[in-house]
Structure 1
C-alpha cells in the first residue's frame, strides 16, 4: 500500500477507481496506514482546489468487523453521494488498513485522518456519520477535535490525542451517531456478550481474525477512553444527530436516550420503528434522511 509523506496527503499514491473517485492510503498520527476512498457528489457540484466538491463532505465510520468495501457501507455511500461528496475508510485492524483494532479507542486517530483529507480536498464543511463502534468514535472525535474558536474541557478527556495535521484541521462541523453505545463494557444483550468474548479471549480474537477478518489488539484500555455519554456534552456547538432502532439487538433504547439527555438539548434524536442495528439495518429512506440532515445543518 502507498503511504503519505511530508504532509498529510502530499506525495501519496492515489489511483482513480471511477471517474472523479480516488483510493488512497492515509497515515494516522500514530503512524498507521489507513485505506480510504473518496467518492464525489453525483449531482455534479463545483469542484474544490484538488478536484473535490468545495461544499459538504460526509465521512463514514463503519461498525466493528466492517470495512469500506462491505456492501452495506457501499450502499450508504451511494445514497449519501446524491447529496454530498463521501469519504469512507477502514478502521485500523479492518480491511486493508494496518494495525489492530482497539474497539473504539485509538480509532479516533483514523477518523481524524479521514476528516483532514476531506479538508485538504477543499471541502469547507465536513460531517461525520458513524455506525455502532463508528458511532462511538464520531462522538469522541467530536469532543476531542474542536472547531476554531472553541476548546474542549481537557480535564474531562481520558486521553487527549493529537489531530492529524493539527487539531483544528480535523474537526467535524456536524456529527451523526447511528446505533451507538452510550457506555463502555455493556453486556446486557446476548450479541454484546458474544462480542466481548471475541474481543477479550484469545480464542475469540482468532475467530475475529479469521472469521471476521478483524485483527484485534489484545491489550486492555489504559487509560479507559472518554465514554460516548461523557463526550456528548463536549460536541456543542456542532449539531448532533442520534439515530437508533427500536429493534436493535445490541443496544436497547436507554442508550440513545442517555446520549440525548447528556446533550442537554443540543442533540436531535430519531428513534426508528422496526430498525435493527447499524449500517446493515439502515434502509435507503433513512440514509436519505440522514444525508438531507447532514447537508442542511
Structure 2
C-alpha cells in the first residue's frame, strides 16, 4: 500500500480539519438563519383570522361528523361556523371517534349549520364578535398617542349589580385576536362586571408603532393603561386585568412601579398560559420546530441579540419571573401541561415564587390558551370565584 497517495493511506489526517471547517460553517449558517427567522417572528406577528381548520360537515339530527384532525380530535368543546353562507354558529360537545370520522353533538346553535356545509372548526369556539353569543356590545376605541385601538365593550349584565362599577380588561396575545377569549364571556357576565376586549399596538387592526415592532409586553402596557383611562371616563371605579399568552406579560408589565398611580385601582390579575420568560420561550420554540436542544440554545441567544439590536428590546424588562417579588395584586393563573408554545415550567416558577398572591391551576393535558376546553365548567367556576373574592360587592 506504500504506493497509494498519503491522503488515501491517512484520510483522517488530511480530511478532518477540512470537514470540521465546513461543518462549523454549516452550523453557523443554520444558527444564523434560524435566528433571523425567529427574530422576525418575535418582532412582528399578527394574523387576521382566529386559528382553526376548514372542514366539510356531515350532519344527522343533532350529531355532526367531521374528518379527523388535531383540531377536531381535541378534548372539550369546539366551535363551528359555516363559510358559504355564513349564517350560523354551533358549539359542539366532546369528541367520539367513529371509524375515520369524529362525531360531536350540538350543544348550542345560533342560525343554521347545514349538512354538507364547508365550515371553520376551532377549539377557540368563536371567531366573530360578542354578537355570535347573542350578547349586546358596542364597538369602541381606546385612545392612545399612536391612535385609536379598537375594542369591544360589554356593559355589566346586572346579574350581580354590586360589581357593576368594575371593568375586566381582556388582553389577547402575540399574533392573537380578541375573539379567542369569547369562550369566557358568559362567565365574565355572570360576575356582574363589565368587559373591555382590547387590542394593542401592532396587532391586527390596531395602529402600528413607528418601527412596527412588538416589545413583548413592555410598551404594549401603555395601551392597557390607556384602557384604564377609558374605563375611568366611562364611569368605572375598579378594574381587573385578564391576559392571554403575551397578554399576560402585558398585564404584569402594567404592575411595574413606573406606571403608578393607576387611573383606577387594579384589584386582581387573571393569567391564561402567560409568557413570563421570553428567553425560555424562544429557546423552547426552537426545540418545538425540530432544532436539537443544544442548537436551540445558540439560536435563542442570537435571536435575543438580533431583536435587541433591531428594536432595543430589553429582555430583562419583560422577565416577569424575576419581577415576581415586586407584585402586590392577587392573581389567578392557569397553564396546561401540554402547552408547546409557552412551557408550563414558567408558570410553575412564578407560582412557586409568590404562593401568597397566586392561585395556581396546573391543567393536565391543557394546550396553549386552551385550558378552558379541558373542563369549561370548572374553569368558569374558578374565574367567577376569583372575581368574587378580589372584587367586594358594593351597594347601589
Q: TM-score, normalised by structure 2?
A: 0.52
Q: Unaligned 5+ residue runs, structure 2?
A: 1-130, 290-295, 304-309, 391-396
Partner SS, residue 278 of structure 2? coil
Give, in angstroms, the shift of residue 20 of structure 1.
Answer: 6.2
Confirm whether residue 289 of structure 1 aligns to residue 382 of structure 2.
Answer: yes
User: Aligned to 1:273, which of 352, 364, 376?
Assistant: 364
Structure 2 counterpart of 1:38 = 153
- 2: CA distance between counterparts of 1:25 and 1:46? 25
Once the two structures are superposed, what CA deviation does each residue of 1:132-165 show, in whole Å capped at 9, x if it has no partner?
10011111212x2xxxxxxx4xxxxxxx4x57xx
Structure 2 counterpart of 1:26 = 142
Q: Cα–Cα, structure 1 residues 22 and 264, in superposed 2: closer, same or farther, change >3 Å?
A: same
Contact 2:169–2:239 (CA under 8 A) maintained in structure 1: yes
Confirm whether residue 63 of structure 1 aligns to residue 173 of structure 2.
Answer: yes
Q: How does 1:5-24 map to 2 (within 5 A)?
A: 21-24=137-140
Confirm whether residue 121 of structure 1 aligns to residue 234 of structure 2.
Answer: yes
Give, in angstroms, the shift of residue 192 of structure 1.
Answer: 7.7
Task: Give the number of the structure with larger relative contact order, counting CA–CA contacts within 8 Å between residues 6 or more apart.
Answer: 1
Confirm whether residue 174 of structure 1 aligns to residue 284 of structure 2.
Answer: no
Task: Answer 1 or 2: which has greater strand percent.
Answer: 2
Q: How does 1:1-297 map to 2 (within 5 A)?
A: 21-28=137-144, 30-44=145-159, 46=161, 54-68=164-178, 70=179, 72-83=180-191, 84-99=193-208, 100=212, 101-142=214-255, 144=256, 152=257, 160=258, 167-186=261-280, 187-190=282-285, 219-222=311-314, 224-236=316-328, 238-263=329-354, 265-278=356-369, 280-283=370-373, 284-285=376-377, 286-297=379-390
Q: TM-score, normalised by structure 1?
A: 0.68
Larger Cα-atom Rg: 2
- 2: CA distance between counterparts of 1:77 and 1:225? 31
Once the two structures are superposed, what CA deviation does each residue of 1:96-151 show, in whole Å capped at 9, x if it has no partner?
21013323221101111112222332223211110110011111212x2xxxxxxx
Partner SS, residue 249 of structure 2? helix
Give, in angstroms, the shift of residue 223 of structure 1.
Answer: 7.4
- 2: CA distance between counterparts of 1:281 and 1:240? 17
Structure 1 counterpart of 2:109 = none
Once the two structures are superposed, what CA deviation does each residue of 1:1-32 show, in whole Å capped at 9, x if it has no partner?
xxxxxxxxxxxxxxxx898632222222x434
